[in-house]
Amino acid sequence: MSTELLSNFLGGQWQAGRGAGSALFDPVLGHELVRVDATGLDLAAGFEFARTQGGAALRSMTYRERGAMLAAAVKVLQGQRDAYYEIATANSGTVKNDSAVDIDGGIYTLGVYAKMGETLGDRRFLMDGEPARLGKEPLFQSQHVQVPVRGLALFINAFNFPSWGLWEKAGPALLSGVPVIIKPATATAWLTQRMVHDVVQAGVLPPGALSVVCGSSAGLMDALRPFDVVSFTGSADTAQVIRSHSAVAARSVRVNIEADSVNSAWLLPGHAAGSEAFDLLVKEVAREMTQKSGQKCTAIRRVFVPESLYADAAQAIGARLAKTTVGNPRNESVRMGALVSRAQFHAVQEGLAHLKQHAQVLYDGSTQALVDADPAVACCVAPTLLGTRSAAGSDAASVVHETEVFGPVATLVPYRDAAHAAELVRRGEGSLVASLYGSDSQALAQAALELADSHGRVHVISADVAALHTGHGNVMPQSLHGGPGRAGGGEELGGMRALNFYHRRSAVQASTEVLSALG
């Protein structure tokens, strides 16, 4: 019996691709779930419909009205949460808590931007700063404004967050008045497609405001025009292809990239094994290694501790990892599910083998049997902690600072002093996030500023926020998500800052009376 072929929504209508499609699989049980295909779609016509119909309808609304529209979408999504959890278990192989990070995290983020619309009120553009006098007399001035782009936003998303990756981009875009076309990663496209389906069918968005194309990405970049924008999350190799495409290079399409990131956790000097700062680091490292099976762009990949604490940290992190049961997420005793696909399984195995040539194994979770899962079928990889043994080895093991294994793998790296640690962290050449652990507020603040130029976010964990902090790897809509260098150089979220990408800044030079008439 053939499996269902999911439809695309483009040009204001549901359309099936003309090909056989690509199969999506259950990464634990191995069987085929659904198929996706975009063969034969008229992308140019669909994109133009989004620009002309969806864009015009959205721009005619105020920020308050668009915020109410997002709030209505939130209610639709909340009403279907159980179905989304079932899809996540089947297609992403995640345990319930990990599915919540994606599903509830995405809905929460959309809700934040819905409330922001109420704050922005009955306006259709944003003022940017105060008027600036252009001469001796104040009668002729310059006022910067930001108006919604008159194109569309194309989102090419990664496989690890089919819900959050959709809504953390779509929320700010739709609130800005810009229509959205989503291209989810094929391996986990089912959840994205279902969420778009539910919102579209509920009729809470104007026609053309939200579209989804599942399957091959061929032709998507070709269909972009100068006033469109594109946001990509994925590998640095694909990011390079996007940046070199004629849409970006010749037509100046604005692009946002989130790519590879070898994120860090740093225990500052002056803390003993068993201290609160030490224990907070151990707890967070183990959580970040195992949440969503390490398939988070923000997950901790390198762990920096004073050389004297190397053995203690290895033992403590390993002891926590040993409590993580791996296998079928449908079994209530399982705490970590699978990687999303056989391709990712092989990629992680290859990356791990590469790292093992330059670091020793400190904890190997593969010695424990999988729970309710056949190791010959399930795409499960147990957590593995590696280490570079000595501070001198930390300097020599360049591969550790350059390689992101997108799974439950991290490397423990000893350092000599604070300056040495900061130097090693920066060898990641730009990351999404680094987390700091300590008890001295002055030292923590100094370290945070030391790393700020090479990180999109610095997450500082001290005893006073032990029960309050949001987590090294949790991306909150109020803070920037992105990072310089290897991380792609992009910026998303950050509260109101997210709207900047979907607006064009222009200087209106006019009399004081005309500028006052802007509103």
What amino acid positions are annotated as catalytic residues? 258, 297
Q: Which amino acid is at 161?
A: F
Extract the tokens encoding 424.
Answer: 């090693």
What is the full DSSP assignment across 177-188?
T--EEEE--GGG
What is the full DSSP assignment across 354-369?
HHHTTSEEEEEGGGSP
Extract the tokens encoding 497.
Answer: 């800052």
- Nearest residue to 168 via CA among 487, 518, 478, 515: 478
Edge-to-edge order in the sheet of strand 13-15: 13-15, 8-10, 210-212, 180-183, 153-156, 229-233, 254-258
- Nearest residue to 461 via CA among 483, 480, 442, 444: 444
Give the phi and the psi of residue 90 in degrees, each rounded to 5: -75, -40
Extract the tokens encoding 394.
Answer: 């930390």
- Nearest residue to 180 via CA among 505, 502, 503, 454: 502
Distance of CA 474 to the CA centre of its chain: 9
What is the full DSSP assignment across 289-325?
HHGGGG--TT-EEEEEEEGGGHHHHHHHHHHHHTT--
Q: Roughly how many angstroms between the first and final C-alpha of the chain, as a whole number?
A: 61
Q: Output helix, strand, coil percentages for the chain, rounded to the nearest 5.
A: 40, 25, 35
Beta carbons of 427 and 264 less than 8 angstroms apart: no
> Could you tell me if residue 313 is left (phi over 0), alpha (psi between -120 and 50 degrees) or otherwise beta?
alpha
Distance CA 338, CA 335 (A): 10
Distance CA 409, CA 382 (A): 9
Extract the tokens encoding 22.
Answer: 């690509």
Half-sphere exposure of 416 (CA within 13 A, CB side): 8
- Helix and strand numbers (H, E) in the chain are 17, 22
How big is the CA angle at 430 (ends 171 and 395), to the nearest 5 degrees?
Answer: 150
Distance CA 209, CA 273 (A): 54
Whose tokens are 């709207």? That residue is: 499
